Structure 1
Amino acid sequence: MGAAAEQDAPLYVVGDVHGHLEELKAALRARDLIDEDAHWSGGRSRLWFLGDFTDRGPDGIGVVELAMSLARESAEAGGSTRMLLGNHEILLLGVFRFGDHPVPVAGGSTTFREIWLRNGGMQSDLERFTDEQADWLAGQPVAAVVDGHLLIHSDSNAYLEYGDTIEEVDGTVADILREPDPLSWWDLFRNLTRRGAFMGEVGPYAAADLLSELGGRRIVHGHTPIPYQTGEDPSTITGPRVYADGQAVNLDGGIYLGGPCLVARLPLTAPEPGVLPSALEETQGREYDLGDLAADAGDE
């Protein structure tokens, strides 16, 4: 399929799913991307997941299995299904590869397993996780530019620590995930837990800096639930949040908090929400329990 044909094909992006398989299926059906039996029905459409398939919800491995099957089925129909690695995929892979290997935190140490359990790890997911699924996840990128949208998982500039271009960032991360070095994996997980870079007065400048380095005209991310940014009741979230002077779009509806599974067609056509008071634009990093590591990991 040529570049022009790809530009013409509809582009959809999915926010954090966190194991909520049935909600994901319903959201994809509402966009006519899958049928009642959860098979691809989107034709030439392009579908991107922004990461965080697992943890905090009942069937993370079911989400992985669905994404893998849709990747095959959509390609056969002339479309595509892709995903970005989120920090929860990196953590799950770390548990799968290294288990109880010690990793450093301020004042001591912990393990991949302990941090995973603290942050919504589901033993049923780990028991069902296969080598094939692990290899597939480890082969996914962490960033992409599609139709002028810079797709990333975390609302963070930490990606620039791994390269100055999309190709360098994805290549560096791929190298880390090929090496049996638990400390490199741990640092990658910690860096991709960072959040809130595009909030507040300096947020638009941080967003512009990331776009100037990696490309694209607008950042599209997940990771930080919209209710954490706005103070809204999760049940009232109905769509993505545009902020940072229109340079950033948040697709994490806070599904594990009671919010929706957001599937948006890009470019967005809905009006952009107004700028919120700065007091509401403070994110506390409360989603992740890293013990004494929080400040060191850059969560806040």
Structure 2
Amino acid sequence: MTPEDRFPGPEHPDSGPRHQPDLDVLPYGTYYEPDPNGGYSPTGYEAETYSGYGGARYLEQHWPVTGPEQGHTVHAQNGPHEQAGYEPTLPDHPSPAHGGHPGPGPQSDDPPTIELGPPLPEPGQPYHPYPAPAPGEPVGPLYVVGDVHGYLDELRTELRHQGLIDADGHWSAGRSRIWFLGDFTDRGPDGIGVIDLVMQLAAEAAAAGGYCRALMGNHELLFLGAARYGDEPVQSTAGTASFLAAWRLNGGQQSDLERLEAHHISWLSRLPAIALEDGHLLLHSDTTAYLEYGESIPEVNDAVHDLLADEGVDEWWDCFRRFTKRFAFRGDSGPTAVRELLDTYGGARVVHGHSPIPYLTGAVHADDGMPPHVPGPYVYAEDLAVAMDGGVTMEGRLLVSRLPI
């Protein structure tokens, strides 16, 4: 059975029931988990293990988690979701087929940037720009969005539930601020639709005096690598692999690759890897690998952007491998790892995606066979870390939450 057979993605446009995926894995290879017998190490933050295609099943065999760790708190969110009865108007998608061959480089086209002006009116309609914030006017509330993984309908529902978009899928939050924590694509049915919506909201929010911004997750690196390098071999720690094989292994959807355009590639390639907002250090991955790319936020982001612009396939692969590490903040050494990041980059608390909350809490397998219960963001590591991946790919929740938690 091929890796593609083991990790099938949804074949239908609706979200529907979905399988419980393994955690991200590297082909025939390596993933990284904390050493259960070792303490925190400033030089080797996570211990390397070899799992074949084991993923989370290997993790459960070797590091079983029976429940939330002592002192960890699950904070409830709002009530039941509103039903989605709206369909935002998104751009049409020409479909150039990549066919697994390297795509255009990250600088092949100028994308719509974060700081765009108001959306253009319909032909013949008057132009009414949104008011700019007055000098000294307080900023709007801050929200974060966990891993979306192509579940566009769930994203619309949650944004609407929080009052951030209207019934037509357009920005309705004024000067509010949103950070997406990465992983727009893979496993779910419409990753390109998610990217298009985020880019649309970025323009509309900026015009309203707020903003909608996003971090680069490990699946952005994987998706870009699959488009650019295809089946070109890379040297992994367990043999030869390729971005395309790894992307398929981790839930890559062929329809996303076929609809990927130059402006998507350019926009994704320029996303920051790390940000600091209102005392919250925003990361995609719960790993200390960011420390390997610089001692300040600008250094980390510049290092990743320079790598994506100039370096070759092996350097890209190494970057993807590092940001696929996880669980550095869990266990007895977790608070020390979080403090290392906070001391280096600033902030009082880390907010991250990447690792689904059901895996962090040990609620993956319910005795009654029901989907995992995710009431809201998960606060742990002595209240220094907030996990935002609600496990939408495993019938958990797509989390959109206002900070501070």
Which TM class, normalised by the smaller chain length?
A: 0.7 to 0.9
Instruction: Work out whether 1:57 is the aligned partner of 2:57.
Output: no
Instruction: From 394, 397, 400, give the equivalent of 1:257.
Output: 394
User: 2:143 is matched with which residue?
Assistant: 12
Kindly report which structure 2 residues correspond to 1:111-260, keeping only aligned pairs within 5 A, or say none. 111-232=242-363, 233=366, 234-260=371-397
Matched length: 267
TM-score normalised per structure 2: 0.65
Instruction: Output the CA distance in 1 between the equivalents of 2:219 and 2:191.
Output: 10
Whether the 8 Å contact between 2:358 and 2:372 is mirrored in structure 1 is no
Instruction: Output the CA distance in 2 between the equivalents of 1:127 and 1:108.
Output: 28
Which structure dedicates a bigger proportion of its chain to helix? 1
> What is the percent sequence identity of the aligned residues?
55
CA radius of gyration, larger in: 2
User: 2:163 is matched with which residue?
Assistant: 32
Instruction: Output the CA distance in 1 between the equivalents of 2:279 and 2:135.
Output: 13
* Paired amino acid for 2:141: P
Instruction: From 46, 53, 64, give the equivalent of 2:177.
Output: 46
Instruction: Output the CA distance in 1 between the equivalents of 2:199 and 2:338.
Output: 31
* Paired amino acid for 1:261: L
Superposition CA RMSD, Å = 1.3
Deviation at 1:170, TM superposition (A): 0.5
Instruction: Output the CA distance in 2 between the equivalents of 1:108 and 1:129.
Output: 29
Whether the 8 Å contact between 2:226 and 2:243 is mirrored in structure 1 is yes
Flag structure 2 segments of 5+ consecutive residues without an equivalent.
1-132
Kindly report which structure 2 residues correspond to 1:80-99, keeping only aligned pairs within 5 A, or say none. 80-99=211-230
* Paired amino acid for 1:242: V
Using CA pairs below 8 Å that are at least 6 residues apart, which structure has the higher relative contact order? 2
What SS does the aligned partner of 1:236 have? coil
* Paired amino acid for 1:51: G
What SS does the aligned partner of 1:141 have? coil
Deviation at 1:71, TM superposition (A): 0.3
User: 1:275 is matched with which residue?
Assistant: none
* Paired amino acid for 1:267: P
Instruction: Output the CA distance in 2 between the equivalents of 1:2 and 1:140.
Output: 28
Deviation at 1:145, TM superposition (A): 0.3
Instruction: Output the CA distance in 1 between the equivalents of 2:136 and 2:386.
Output: 25
Instruction: Output the CA distance in 1 between the equivalents of 2:171 and 2:233.
Output: 42
What SS does the aligned partner of 2:382 have? coil
